[in-house]
Structure 1
Amino acid sequence: MNMNPVFFSAFFPAFACAAAVPPEPSALEAICPPSEGKAFHSGWISLGLKAADLKEKQVSAGHITDVGEAQVLLHFPAGWKPQDRRTALCIFPGGGYSIQAIEKEGSRIAGWAAEHGMVGVVVKYRVSGTSNALGKFPGPLLDARQALRTVRENASSLGIDPLRIGVMGFSAGGHLAAMTSTLWNRTLPEEAENPLKNISARPDFSMFIYPVITMAPHTTHGGTRNKILGPHPSPALEEMCSAERQVTKQTPPVFLVHALDDGVSCANSRLMEQACRNKGVPVSLNLYPTGGHGYGMEKRGHPTDQWPDAAEQWLKEQGFLPSPASARGGAPSGAVPSSGTRRE
């Protein structure tokens, strides 16, 4: 995809009150989309949540750590206009709450979303491979909720339908997406002074790709659990951060992907599927015999190569694709009322 980077922060009036520090002058410039109607993306935009003065660094190609400031990067589809009412996909890269696969599980996924007419939103949430504080609950959840609220608050300027904002997360990012989908109405004292706290943080649909779901020691991924909970979590915190235990009838529709040979046990996705079925939440579990972990949307010659097509079909079944460019808005007309599908 030929992307033209531009700064787009002028479409975010809520940042003025949400940000702890003023944005950089360049981020205040209103740059119009390309006149030829090509796909394009914004620059990194602060969500106003900043921790320590860390210097972000690349640990390997496409992987970063020491992210001290929550930010978003928006990918807009060809033909986008501010008056559109498109579906938006907020994307959480994985990395065990220590690093982030910001390209393979971030910008490339946002490009896929834009190719399908959606606005792709990469969420760079705060993590660190050296600081024990960053990556620990509730920090990543605060960042995820802030991203959803910011996009929803500014939907009318971003060509987004506020009732068509979903999440997709990979590995630990899948756990973050799952917490966002199940704890969206949980009051967090850290947000008491947040000017966006009354904006809904509920995703309208949820997609978890080779996710960590539970914090139960015998099933979870140990490194992810230790980073988000710390070495000696209380039973109450473990339960709160186990997404399968927090599913309610109000949990948005769920799409799951896992390979049977994944080092992160596919029992995580099975637990989420069963929890959704128990509560009548539409759910689609896509299990593949091989594929391993951490493949993003790369084609590796495994059955997991099929999951992007399955995701596209599910979004169509749920009424979120095709992403409408009209201003009619409203809830998706094609939402599936049943408990969904299962593929093995």
Structure 2
Amino acid sequence: MNMKLAFLLPALLLAFAHAPAGGAPFDPSALAALQPPAEHGAFHSGWISLGLKAADLKEKQVSPGHITDVGEAQIQLYFPAGWRPQDKRAALCIFPGGGYALQAIEKEGVRIARWAAEHGMVGVVVKYRVSGENNAIGMFPGPLLDARQALRVTRRHASALGVDPRRIGVIGFSAGGHLAAMAATLWNRTLPEEEDNPLKNVSARPDFSMLIYPVITMAPGTTHGGTRSKILGPDPTPALAELCSAERQVTAQTPPVFLVHALDDGVASANSRLMEQACREKGVPASLHFYPAGGHGYGMEKRGQPTDEWPEAAEEWLSERGILSSRETPCGNAPSGAGTAPGTRRE
């Protein structure tokens, strides 16, 4: 990092970190001043508070690259080489998995953000609130509030971040895939917890969603039991289970969906099938990629399995939809599928 960036990034972090609960807007002047030379490599910020805090937890590392007891929602921004604040790049909000009890923050967060930056996008790692001990942390609507706030902050400050506000998407893995699916289907649902949020009128709708070995449904027999227990709590009502079953919440306004699942995954591949079917019934473009083997939790690691191919399939899908191009495709604030090509399906 050059001296100019080393000086300006702390100012950016302070601007975010002192936002009160509810995510008050930060002064984007610190970001607007970031103008690295064209030859400058990729760079990233530190962790930035979203102003949403549930408890005074002490974050812990449970194993290398895995954290728990996250009591405050935060984001980390990854910028591509050659980034300028006047750019209009796509942005990717990233939700690591971990059953709403922990997060694979390195494999399914940081590495994905670096991949996004390598492909010209601004990567936004979202550290949403979870806990392995405090059962109230990780329950609905907490993680969804964090996801929506990350989308709103990115969109509200798109011009300072060098981001096209109509090309802001989500990607999630396992339980993070469930969170991304909720963000894509419940983006316009009124939540009383956001009543005093000064950003509540900023759209939280993702422009596209990428669900990688996701939990989708809360239906017993198909869902993942641990994930269901954490997000719904010990005694959920049928209405809450219905609300958190993403396939039951798909509408014509749901953004285009890219899905990846291995047939030998411990999280039933029927989850992705249910989502693809629901999208097809509502006219939402959906690209479903089933692989014969690969298991679960591989992120973008190459393990000598058929699932090794999915990042290339994702890049192709993003390119086909104009997300990786500089074109200002109006897919974000228009009905899903407007001005876009139909999705593909691979089995």
TM-score, normalised to structure 1, is: 0.91
Is contact 1:174–1:211 with CA below 8 Å preserved after alignment? Answer: yes
Q: Encode CA deviations 1:114-159: one digit per residue, 9 max, x unaligned.
A: 0000000000000000000100000000000000000000000000
Give, in whole Å, the separation in 2 of the partners of 1:259 and 1:290. Answer: 5
The verdict on how the C-alpha distance between 1:277 and 1:334 changes in structure 2, with shifts beyond 3 A counting, is closer
Q: 1:335 to 1:75 in 2, by over 3 A?
A: farther
Q: Are residues 1:91 and 2:94 paired?
A: yes
Q: Pick from 64, 73, 78: which aligns with 2:76?
A: 73
Whether the 8 Å contact between 2:22 and 2:196 is mirrored in structure 1 is: no
1:82 counterpart SS class: coil
Instruction: Say if 2:34 is the partner of 1:32.
Output: yes
Aligned equivalents of 2:277, 2:48: Cα separation in 1 = 37
TM-superposed deviation, 1:319 = 1.1
Distance 1:319 1:116 in 2: 13
Structure 1 stretches of at least 4 aligned residues deviating more than 2 Å after TM superposition: 4-23, 28-36, 332-338
Query: Any stretches of 5+ residues in structure 1 without a counterpart?
Result: none
Q: CA deviation at 1:171?
A: 0.1
Instruction: Give the secondary structure class of the aligned counterpart of 1:247.
Output: coil
Q: What residue in structure 2 maps to residue 232 of structure 1?
A: 235
Give the deviation of 1:38 after TM superposition.
1.1
Note the 1:128-139 alignment, pairs <5 A. Answer: 128-139=131-142
- Show the counterpart of 2:20: 19
Does residue 271 of structure 1 match 2:270?
no
CA shift, 1:342, in A, is 1.4
Q: Does 1:336 align with 2:340?
A: yes
Counterpart selection for 2:61 from 49, 58, 63: 58
Work out whether residues 174 and 297 of structure 2, in 8 Å CA contact, stay in contact via their aligned partners in 1.
Answer: yes
Q: What RMSD over aligned residues (CA atoms) do the two structures have, in Å? A: 2.5
Alignment partners' CA distance in 2, 1:44 and 1:16: 9
8 Å contact 2:152–2:199 — kept in the other structure?
yes
1:135-174 correspondence runs (5 A): 135-174=138-177
Deviation at 1:5, TM superposition (A): 7.8
1:14–1:236 Cα change, 3 Å: farther
Q: Give the residue type in structure 1 aligned to 2:20.
A: A
Contact 2:13 2:47 in 1 (8 A): no
Structure 1 partner of 2:334: none
Relative to structure 1, is the Cα distance of residues 189 and 305 closer, same or farther in structure 2, using a 3 angstrom cutoff? same
Structure 1 SS opposite 2:148:
helix
Check conservation: 1:5, 1:40, Cα contact below 8 A.
no
Contact 1:172 1:224 in 2 (8 A): yes
Are residue 283 (structure 1) and residue 286 (structure 2) matched?
yes
- Tell me which amino acid in the other structure corresponds to 1:243: A
Deviation at 1:336, TM superposition (A): 3.2
Q: 1:7 to 1:210 in 2, by over 3 A?
A: farther
After TM superposition, the structure 1 stretch with the greater mean CA deviation from structure 2, 287-296 or 7-16, is 7-16
- Equivalent pairs: percent with the same residue? 74
